[in-house]
Amino acid sequence: MTTLRLRILFDAAMIGPGKAELLERIRDTGSIAAAGRQMEMSYKRAWMLVEEMNAAFLDPLVVSARGGPGGGGAQLTDNGARVLLLYHDIVASAQVAAAPGIAALETLLRPARAADVPAGK
């Protein structure tokens, strides 16, 4: 299956499929730690990416509360939800625009053979 993966590079920031997935998982789990675990990412790495995204945009994308007796948590802000929606809209538009070119490229590919696929031992 052919897939288009899109990263948007700004002067001092980037958003791509990994950061979008992290935002989605934070939205769905209410936790940076849980989102990171689901992505097999360390808590430190997930936090670093959240801080990077929060610093890059005018308003934060994620807000968090420290743990304690009531527990902590994290959630997307309205700005975070908007950034995620815009990113997905851009990817969908790019997929539509790129479809004819991708189809043309696929016709030029050598067919995969069984010998080309690594076998496990």
Residue of 50, 61, 54 whose CA lies nearest to 83:
61
How many CB atoms lie under 10 A from the CB of residue 102?
Answer: 12
Q: How far is CA 47 from the centre of its chain?
A: 14
User: pLDDT digit string (tens) for 2-39?
Assistant: 889 999 999 989 999 999 999 999 999 999 999 999 99
What is the pLDDT at residue 65? Answer: 83
Q: Which fold has domain 13-107?
A: Arc Repressor Mutant, subunit A (1.10.10)
pTM of the full structure? 0.85
Query: What HEC string does 22-41 produce?
Result: HHHHHHHHCCHHHHHHHCCC
Residues 61-101 pLDDT 10s: 999 987 666 667 999 999 999 999 999 999 999 999 999 99
Every domain of the chain and the residues it spans:
13-107
